[in-house]
Structure 1
Amino acid sequence: MKDHAGNTRYFEGTVEDITKRKKMEQQLKQSENLLKAAQSIAKVGGWEYDVQSKKVIWTDEVYRIYNVSESFDPNDIAKAIRFYAVEDRQKIEEAFTQAVEQHRPYDLELKFVSADRTRKWVRTIGRPLVKDGRVVKVVGNIADITDRKNAVEELNISTEKLRKNLIGTIQVISVMLETRDPYTGGHQKRVSSLARSIAQEMRLSKDTIDIIRIAGSIHDIGKMSVPAEILSKPTKLSDIEMSILKVHPRIGSDIIKVAELPDLLTEMVLQHHERIDGSGYPQGLKGKEILLEAQILAVADVVEAMASHRPYRPSLGVDAALAEIEKNQGIFYHPDVAEACLRLFRENRFKFE
């Protein structure tokens, strides 16, 4: 305040405690820094597109994923899309257009090439924000998922190598058994073929069908422990000889365990002589205690055995084999498995080679 002569006499003012505001600003800054660090670690960047102004905002991590400086203009959408692999550009263009025009969110995994020519995989997500029935903004994120994609690819390669090793092991085992007992070797091949066809008829998954095929090709591997004179005996086996023969499913499962083949194979080989009424061997399992895959093997095994020549008798023929399956459908054999098998033969869609 000044006096009548214009001299300053005193000052007036206010003092405001802004401690809380400053703390809030500091906390906000810390939160922003934390979010940026999290995005950097996770390799996830956020973006926003304003439909009315057509302005695009990127977070720092988006610039890092693109490997461009902050001078790059994110509003040049056409240029930004060119960072995607040629074969994926149409996908992202259509997805973005549909988000704006049809309110449709998107979530895509696409190939990407950053500014330094590094090939990447990105996951890009877009969500339209709707107000009064119109899209006002599209917000989303883009994540560098290259490490995950590479890990999946390496896993697939390892799985395929394991699969090839498994098949090689099976082939060696089958050759060894066929050399010792030619009948059993041919029997396994035919059982494998029929079991696979039954599984296909039942519309089981591709992986299940494949493992059933594999199991069929080695289901009698335990017979390697049975004396050759019993396997090739031209007359009916004695009770003692039959008890020795009945050990082969358990021996076979033990061999597979030692070979470190999948557990499902072990159980299928162990159970392929079980019957749903509990009259089978070696465990006397009943009903649902028996794997469906093993029950498919059981039906294929019976049909092939009856339809083929055995050391102690001539072939009984396919008709007799199918009559056995039909008669004991739901008693010894799973009804769905039996029906699938009968249908294949009656409609002339399967024939032993």
Structure 2
Amino acid sequence: AVDIAGLGLAAPLSAPQVVGPLVRQVIRRREVVSIRDYALETHGDTSGNSDLLREAGIHAAMAAPVMLGGEVAGSVGIATTDPDRTFDTIDRQGLFAFAQLAAAAMRSARVRAEREQRIRSLSALNVLAWTLAGVREPFGIAKLAYETAGALVARDSFYVARYDVDKREFEFILQAEGAEVWAGERYPLGTGPTSQVVLTGETYLVRGVDDPVQRRGMPFGDEKRPSLSAVHVPLKSRGRLVGVLSSQAYRPGMFDDEDIAVLQSLANLVATAFENAEHLAQMRELYLASVKALAAAVDARDPYTRSHSARVAALARTIADEMRLSSDQLRRVQLGALLHDIGKIGVPDAILNKPGPLSADEWVIMRTHPAVGGSILAAVEPLRDLVPIVRAHHERFDGAGYPEKLAGDSVPIEAYVVAAADAFEVIVSRRAYKQAQSVEFACAELVRCRGTQFHPDVVDAFLRVIDRDRQHGAAYLRRVGAIEEEDMANVPGPGGVLEQFAASAHAHGRQLAILQRLASEISAVLDIDELAGRLLRIICEAMGYENGFLLTLDDKHQSLIVRAAVGPSEPYVGQLLTRGVGISWWVIEHGQLQNVTDAQTDPRFYGPPNIQSVLCVPLQLGEERVGVLGIESPRTEAFGREDEELVTAVSHQVAAALRVARLHQAAKTAAATDPLTGLPNRRTFFDRLRVELAGDPLVSVTVAVLDVNGLKQLNDQFGHGAGDEALIRIGEMLSAGVRDRDTVARIGGDEFAILFPGAPLLAAERVMRRVASNIAEGTLADGKRLPTIAWGVADASDRPITVDALVDAADRAMYRHKQLTRGSRASLA
């Protein structure tokens, strides 16, 4: 095949290219297309890069379509300058398979980009919602909307207009052209796009400069550069149209369905801010919007479960209505259902979206999510009464659930309602690991598990709802299946919890906004040091703190590890604080925060000399403490009650994320190490050897394989405990006898192996003779002699050589050594 770039004939594309003759055939035929002689068969065609290919001397060529969504999204091709080379069926199949791989990669990239954009949009809208809570002036509200829109969609021009029904006129609260923003004027209702939105109540999309409705509108933006695409969306509050919001671009086709949905969400937030004159009512809308955003942050991580929480909430509300639960119980059911999976924020994407069964270690991580979710919500006062529902939604009526194996009346009835709705929605929906089942199958499962997994009263109420719906053509279940987001208009309230929320809205808004950002940005990070650094940066940036630190307990709970720091404590990263050192150890041991107003006078303080104030909060889930989160300041008395509440609020989510990372690290370590000796296992050894063999062929790579002589006799005579002790001791002596860069592994029952990167054969043999001699003189704890070892060494001087071939060569050398040893013993005998 020919490498066009390698011939110096290719250059980066500076503009879209017209496709050439071969690709045109691929697009038309939607299959692999081959040409025997490119120059002959494309003679006279100068489109695309055909001249370039002819200049390169291309003869046979072949291209395959890259299909996305049933359409040709690209092509991959190969060609040759060999006039006698042709492409056969195997070549065609190989190229087709490669095109499928390319399509899968493009599809995965597109899904990931869409998911990340969705999360960014949700996060930005959530932050806007809470920021709007503190703004009362209309221009300030509109300016926040303008700034947020700039981060979400195309926005060359922008406006926000309120509509006065009685006067039939618009007040343009804000108009903007690029970065220039000004307060607009009043205009009467007319026939342009803004008026069209008011007259129809629907969004109006401008697709080009010749749009007839746009031509009838007032001059807007730069009259010399009219908008080539624009979205005009209604400002609606509680179903009533109160104005119009628009974002416009000087390029065509800049707004898709997702952009329209984002602008409509933005418009809804702006309309709410305009219309909610009563403070408590405004807080209620924004509070519920944050609940939805937090739930959506989890759902958005998996394309199969998008809107899962909203559908579960709708089903749970209907079951609760059928059971005639109280108004406050209805509120808890609906909001608890929306947030039932919030703890999955800390579960890695690889586990959430795994297409096959979870391993035992993965189930350990997955089963943390109810407790993690409860801890997250417990830190935010207005969500605190949802904690029992979220913690218990995987408990069972018979006590066989998790995390606490509660049974019967020990589980809140609201949690049983959410559990049944959740199970039903999962059964009838498609997932990465299963296809959707029928409603009949789901009902049969509810009946089968009545009184064991599910509360009998909940199942009976649910089945009554489904039976009635079937009699009316299953219209309700179809509506639930089509839900994209939960309708919060029917959530009971406001109730006492929202009054408490309104009283401290600013603090709670910051808490939920930070929780949302943490949920959006840390879900896929599993390396504990990287995770700690990212968590700390997010917290410091979001809260406006310049200095901070994050510490975790080591596995033996004897030291605190400084995982991350911002500011003067950065030089301490990586250090171990032994028990009793620093304010952080006091916080870990007592499980209480410490707000030290003058650190230099506190005898417990350990840290930079210019730090005066320290606020330390324990990172804990229930009674389990995993570390300490702290913020610092060079000023005395720098932190107050609001800081304490904010840091405490996010500490539970930080603890949850760190705990999941530690579980993942433990599972990863277990998969890579021998459980008896703690040495790398066979798979890890072979992986490391494979990496070394793929490196510089001039660098020596030597391997030793060794057998423990007489291990079976030791086990038979003294028991397997003695044999295990011998293996552990030999592993320790092997590790102590080699360099830090060498790898000692246990690769079988009585077999060990050593990888010597960069060491020649003779050097490795010298090391093995010394180590074997030390082992021969070694003893067990009770004084028994250690078994001796037989060993063999081989190097990779004859490269290329495979991993198996090199290990086999060392293995044969070991058996020759063993035979020689036996022969010498026989001669001596």
Q: Secondary structure at the match of 1:274?
A: coil
Task: State the alpha-carbon separation in 1 of the partners of residues 433 and 390 from structure 2.
Answer: 24
Equivalent residue, structure 2, for 1:320: 441
Equivalent residue, structure 2, for 1:219: 340
User: 1:343 is aligned with what amino acid?
Assistant: R
Cα 1:228–1:330 shift into 2, 3 Å: same
Equivalent residue, structure 1, for 2:359: 238
Check conservation: 1:184, 1:220, Cα contact below 8 A.
no
Check conservation: 2:296, 2:307, Cα contact below 8 A.
no
Check conservation: 1:198, 1:340, Cα contact below 8 A.
yes
Equivalent residue, structure 1, for 2:382: 261
Task: State the alpha-carbon separation in 2 of the partners of residues 158 and 205 from structure 1.
Answer: 26
- Give the deviation of 1:211 after TM superposition: 2.2
Task: State the alpha-carbon separation in 2 of the partners of residues 178 and 287 from structure 1.
Answer: 30
Task: State the alpha-carbon separation in 2 of the partners of residues 183 and 258 from structure 1.
Answer: 30
Equivalent residue, structure 2, for 1:252: 373
- Give the deviation of 1:212 after TM superposition: 0.9
Check conservation: 2:416, 2:454, Cα contact below 8 A.
yes
- Give the deviation of 1:162 after TM superposition: 4.6
Check conservation: 1:220, 1:269, Cα contact below 8 A.
yes
Task: State the alpha-carbon separation in 2 of the partners of residues 251 and 183 from structure 1.
Answer: 23
Give CA-to-partner distance per residue, 1:126-150, whole Å, 9 cap, x none: xxxxxxxxxxxxxxxxxxxxxxxxx
Equivalent runs, 1:65-104 vs 2, <5 Å: none
**Structure 2: 5+ residue stretches without partners:** 1-277, 471-475, 482-829
- Give the deviation of 1:258 after TM superposition: 2.2
Give CA-to-partner distance per residue, 1:269-312, whole Å, 9 cap, x none: 01000001001111100100000000000111111111111111
**Aligned with residue 331 of structure 2, among 205, 210, 213:** 210
Q: Does 1:341 align with 2:473?
A: no
Check conservation: 2:336, 2:389, Cα contact below 8 A.
yes
**Structure 1: 5+ residue stretches without partners:** 1-156
- Give the deviation of 1:176 after TM superposition: 2.0
Task: State the alpha-carbon separation in 2 of the partners of residues 205 and 159 from structure 1.
Answer: 22
Check conservation: 1:174, 1:185, Cα contact below 8 A.
no
Equivalent residue, structure 2, for 1:189: 310
Task: State the alpha-carbon separation in 2 of the partners of residues 185 and 258 from structure 1.
Answer: 26
Q: Secondary structure at the match of 2:437?
A: coil
- Give the deviation of 1:168 after TM superposition: 2.7
Equivalent runs, 1:137-176 vs 2, <5 Å: 160-176=281-297
Check conservation: 1:268, 1:291, Cα contact below 8 A.
yes
- Give the deviation of 1:334 after TM superposition: 1.0
Give CA-to-partner distance per residue, 1:32-84, whole Å, 9 cap, x none: xxxxxxxxxxxxxxxxxxxxxxxxxxxxxxxxxxxxxxxxxxxxxxxxxxxxx
Equivalent residue, structure 2, for 1:76: none
Give CA-to-partner distance per residue, 1:93-123, whole Å, 9 cap, x none: xxxxxxxxxxxxxxxxxxxxxxxxxxxxxxx
Q: Does 1:281 align with 2:388?
A: no
Larger Rg: 1
Q: Does 1:292 align with 2:417?
A: no
- Give the deviation of 1:249 after TM superposition: 0.7
Equivalent residue, structure 1, for 2:321: 200
Task: State the alpha-carbon separation in 2 of the partners of residues 313 and 326 from structure 1.
Answer: 21
User: 1:240 is aligned with what amino acid?
Assistant: D
Cα 1:159–1:331 shift into 2, 3 Å: farther
Cα 1:292–1:158 shift into 2, 3 Å: farther
- Give the deviation of 1:200 after TM superposition: 0.5
User: 1:300 is aligned with what amino acid?
Assistant: A
User: 1:256 is aligned with what amino acid?
Assistant: L
Q: Secondary structure at the match of 1:219?
A: coil
Task: State the alpha-carbon separation in 1 of the partners of residues 363 and 438 from structure 2.
Answer: 23
Percent identical: 38
Task: State the alpha-carbon separation in 2 of the partners of residues 159 and 280 from structure 1.
Answer: 39
Cα 1:202–1:273 shift into 2, 3 Å: same
RMSD: 1.7
Under a length normalisation based on structure 1, what TM-score does the superposition of the two structures give? 0.53
